[in-house]
C-alpha cells in the first residue's frame, strides 16, 4: 500500500493542487515570460520535463492505488456474498425443518380427523341403511296392497266393459240382421219397375218441394194437348200473353238392372263386362230420353227441352262417364240429364229467375204508385203554400198585437198599480182566482 502524506491528502489531490498552482503561476508569469521568453527558454524546458516526470509518477501511483482499492472491494464483496449465502442456507434449512414438522403434525391431525369422520359416516350409513330397509319394506307392503286392490278393481272394470261391449255387439248383430232384412226388402222393392218409379218420383217430389213454391210446379200434368200419359212433374214457366203457363217437363228414370250389372262388373274387375254393361246402360238412357221427348215435349205448350232425372249420384256419374252421351241427348233430343245435386242447382237457378221476373212485373206497379205519389206531392205542395200564407198572416197579426201591447205599456207606465185583490174585484174576478157568476 502507498503511504499517505501526513496532512491526509492523496497524491492525486496534491497533483491537482500542484497543477492549479502551476496554472496560477503560469497566468501570473505570462507577462514576464513573454518579456523573458528568450532568457528563460531553457528553464521552461527543464521545468516542463520535471512536471511531465512528476505527472507520470503521480499517474502511476494513482493507477497502483486504484487497482489495490478495486482488489480490496472485490475481496470484501466476495466475502460478504459468501457469508450471506451461508446465512440464507442456514435459514432455509431451519425453515424447511420447521415446515416439515408442521406438515407432519398436520398430517397426523388430518388422519385422526378422517378416522373419526369415517367412523361417524359408517355408523350413520349403517343406521340409514337399516332405516331405508324398514321404509322400503313398508312401501313394498303398501304398494303390494294397493296393486292388489287396483288390479282387482281394474279387472272388475275390464270385465264389466267387456260384458257391455259384448252386449253392444249382440245388439249390433241384431240391428245388422234387421238392416239386412230391410236391405232385402228394399232390393225386392227396387226389383219391381213400378216401385223403382215410385222411388225416383218420391225423391224428385222432395227436391221440388224443398226449392220451389207449390204454385210454381204441378204433378201429373198432360203437357201435350190430347195426350193420355201425364208427366210426373212439370215446372210452371211464364211465357204466354194470355196467362196460360208454359211447362217444363221433368221425369224420373231408374234403370236398376243395367246399373247393378255395371256395378257387379266393376267389382269383378272384368273390363269386357264393364264395357258391355256401360253400353247397355247408355242405350237404356237414350231410349228413356227419346220416350220423354216424344211424350212430353210440345212447344209452345212446353219448353223446347225436358229434364231426365236420375235419382242417385252414382247413376248420374256413370251417365256422365259415357263419352258424348250428355251432349248428344242435349243436341239431338233436347233432353238434359240431371242428378240430385245438379237438379237442385237448376231448380235454385229457376227460383232466382222467378224472383227476378216477379220484381220486373212489380216494377210497373211501383211506377204507378210513384206517379200517384208525385201527383199527391204536388197537391201537398199547394197545401203547404196555403198554410205558409195563413201562417204569415197570423204572424203579422201577432206582431201588430205585440206592438199595441208595447204602446199600451208605455202609456200605463206612470199609472200606479193597484194591489191584486182590488184589481181582481175591479175586473169581476173573485179573490180565489175564479170568475164571478
> pLDDT of 235-287, one tens digit each?
888 766 666 788 888 888 878 777 888 888 888 888 888 888 888 888 888 88
34 located within any domain: no
What pLDDT is recorded for position 427? 54
Q: Which H or E run contains 336? A: strand 335-338
> CA Rg, the chain, in Å?
72
What pLDDT is recorded for position 75? 83
What pLDDT is recorded for position 253? 84
Supply 20's cell numbers: 492549479
What's the CA gap between 45 and 329, in Å, rounded?
A: 163
0.85 cut: is pTM over it? no
Q: Which parts of the chain sit beneath pLDDT 50?
A: 1-2, 4-5, 183, 186, 188-196, 430-437
CB 247 within 8 A of CB 232: no
404 located within any domain: no
CB 319 within 8 A of CB 310: yes
Angle between helices 313-321 and 256-268 (to 10 degrees): 70
What pLDDT is recorded for position 433? 46
189 located within any domain: no
- CB under 8 Å to 418, separation ≥6 — which residues? 426
What's the CA gap between 233 and 184, in Å, rounded?
A: 30
429 located within any domain: no
Write the CA distances from 132 to 117, 142, 143, 145, 190, integer angstroms: 22, 15, 16, 19, 80
CB 259 within 8 A of CB 278: no
What pLDDT is recorded for position 31? 58
What pLDDT is recorded for position 76? 82
What pLDDT is recorded for position 241? 61
103 located within any domain: no
Q: Which H or E run contains 250? A: strand 246-252
CA dihedral in degrees (360, 361, 364, 368; nearest 10)?
-130
What pLDDT is recorded for position 435? 47
What pLDDT is recorded for position 8? 55
- CB under 8 Å to 223, separation ≥6 — which residues? 230, 231, 234, 247, 249, 296, 297, 298, 301, 302
What pLDDT is recorded for position 254? 79
**What is the length of the chain?**
437
What pLDDT is recorded for position 234? 87
Domain housing 331 = 194-363
What pLDDT is recorded for position 55? 79
What pLDDT is recorded for position 186? 47
What's the CA gap between 344 and 309, in Å, rounded?
A: 11
71 located within any domain: no
239 located within any domain: yes
In the numeric block, the cell 218420383 is attached to 201
236 located within any domain: yes
Dihedral pair phi/psi, residue 42, rounded to 5°? -70, -35
In the numeric block, the cell 313394498 is attached to 140
CB 295 within 8 A of CB 323: no
Number of independent structural domains in the chain? 1
Amino acid at each position: 500500500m502507498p503511504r499517505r502524506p501526513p496532512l491526509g491528502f492523496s497524491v492525486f489531490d496534491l497533483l491537482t493542487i500542484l497543477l492549479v498552482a502551476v496554472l496560477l503561476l503560469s497566468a501570473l508569469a505570462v507577462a514576464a515570460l513573454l518579456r523573458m521568453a528568450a532568457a528563460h527558454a531553457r528553464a521552461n524546458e527543464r521545468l516542463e520535463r520535471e512536471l511531465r516526470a512528476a505527472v507520470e509518477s503521480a499517474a502511476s501511483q494513482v493507477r497502483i492505488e486504484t487497482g489495490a482499492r478495486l482488489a480490496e472491494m472485490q475481496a470484501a464483496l466476495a466475502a460478504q456474498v459468501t457469508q450471506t449465502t451461508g446465512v440464507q442456507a442456514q435459514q432455509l434449512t431451519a425453515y424447511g425443518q420447521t415446515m416439515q414438522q408442521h406438515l407432519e403434525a398436520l398430517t397426523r391431525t388430518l388422519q385422526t380427523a378422517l378416522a373419526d369422520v369415517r367412523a361417524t359416516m359408517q355408523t350413520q350409513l349403517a343406521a340409514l341403511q337399516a332405516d331405508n330397509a324398514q321404509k322400503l319394506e313398508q312401501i313394498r307392503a303398501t304398494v303390494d296392497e294397493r296393486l292388489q286392490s287396483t288390479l282387482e278393481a281394474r279387472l272388475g272394470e275390464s270385465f264389466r266393459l267387456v260384458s257391455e261391449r259384448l252386449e253392444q255387439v249382440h245388439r249390433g248383430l241384431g240391428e245388422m240382421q234387421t238392416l239386412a232384412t230391410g236391405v232385402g226388402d228394399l232390393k225386392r222393392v227396387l226389383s219391381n219397375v213400378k216401385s223403382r218409379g215410385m222411388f225416383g218420383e218420391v225423391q224428385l217430389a222432395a227436391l221440388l218441394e224443398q226449392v220451389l213454391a207449390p204454385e210454381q210446379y204441378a204433378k201429373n200434368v198432360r203437357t201435350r194437348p190430347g195426350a193420355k200419359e201425364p208427366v210426373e212433374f212439370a215446372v210452371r214457366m211464364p211465357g204466354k200473353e194470355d196467362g196460360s203457363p208454359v211447362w217444363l217437363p221433368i221425369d224420373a228414370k231408374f234403370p236398376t238392372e243395367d246399373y247393378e250389372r255395371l256395378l257387379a262388373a266393376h267389382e269383378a274387375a272384368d273390363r269386357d263386362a264393364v264395357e258391355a254393361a256401360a253400353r247397355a246402360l247408355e242405350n237404356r238412357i237414350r231410349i228413356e230420353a227419346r220416350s220423354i221427348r216424344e211424350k212430353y215435349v210440345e212447344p209452345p205448350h212446353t219448353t223446347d227441352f225436358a229434364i231426365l232425372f236420375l235419382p242417385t249420384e252414382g247413376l248420374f256419374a256413370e251417365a256422365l262417364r259415357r263419352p258424348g252421351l250428355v251432349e248428344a241427348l242435349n243436341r239431338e233430343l233436347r233432353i238434359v240429364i240431371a242428378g240430385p245435386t245438379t237438379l237442385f242447382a237448376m231448380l235454385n237457378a229457376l227460383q232466382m229467375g222467378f224472383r227476378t221476373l216477379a220484381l220486373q212485373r212489380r216494377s210497373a206497379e211501383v211506377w204507378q204508385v210513384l206517379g200517384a205519389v208525385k201527383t199527391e206531392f204536388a197537391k201537398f205542395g199547394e197545401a203547404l203554400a196555403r198554410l205558409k200564407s195563413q201562417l204569415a198572416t197570423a204572424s203579422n197579426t201577432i206582431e201588430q198585437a205585440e206592438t199595441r201591447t208595447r204602446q199600451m205599456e208605455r202609456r200605463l207606465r206612470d199609472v200606479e198599480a193597484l194591489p191584486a185583490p182590488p184589481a181582481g174585484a175591479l175586473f169581476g174576478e173573485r179573490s180565489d182566482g175564479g170568475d164571478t157568476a
